[in-house]
Amino acid sequence: AQSVTQLDSHVSVSEGTPVLLRCNYSSSYSPSLFWYVQHPNKGLQLLLKYTSAATLVKGINGFEAEFKKSETSFHLTKPSAHMSDAAEYFCVVSEYGRGSTLGRLYFGRGTQLTVWP
């Protein structure tokens, strides 16, 4: 069975400082993992996805995530936060591998990122 745990419901950082959003997963198979961002009253936008091609995945807007099988983690990072990064972030696991969203998606509870000026 697949499941996702986002370890922090809320993260606050100052503009220009690093961002770390933590995610642990549980999967019976070699998973596909995703990070989505949701701005207020907007739909979800894909930031990046793990497809098993490389453990360090680069996404849009300077975000990246590292897949660590031994730790069953897929933490999202950004070296320098921007005000526009303030949003809700969801870690997601798919029951299919290789970056596929063919199957059902399992969502974490979300992490609200606040960026202070």
Partner 1 sequence: GAVVSQHPSWVICKSGTSVKIECRSLDFQATTMFWYRQFPKQSLMLMATSNEGSKATYEQGVEKDKFLINHASLTLSTLTVTSAHPEDSSFYICSARGRRELSYEQYFGPGTRLTVT
Kindly list the residues in this chain that would bind partner 1 in the complex (CB under 8 A).
9, 36, 41-46, 90, 99-102, 104-105, 107-110, 112
> Min. distance of Cβ 84 from partner 1 in angstroms?
18
- Minimum CB separation of residue 70 from partner 1 in Å reads 26
For residues 15 and 103, which CB has a smaller minimum distance to partner 1 in the complex?
A: 103
Residue 26 host element (H or E): strand 23-26
**For residue 15, which of 85, 88, 95, 77 has the smallest C-alpha distance?**
85
**Rounded alpha-carbon distances, angstroms, from residue 109 to 3, 80, 90:** 11, 24, 7
Q: Minimum distance between the CB of residue 105 and partner 1, rounded to whole angstroms?
A: 7
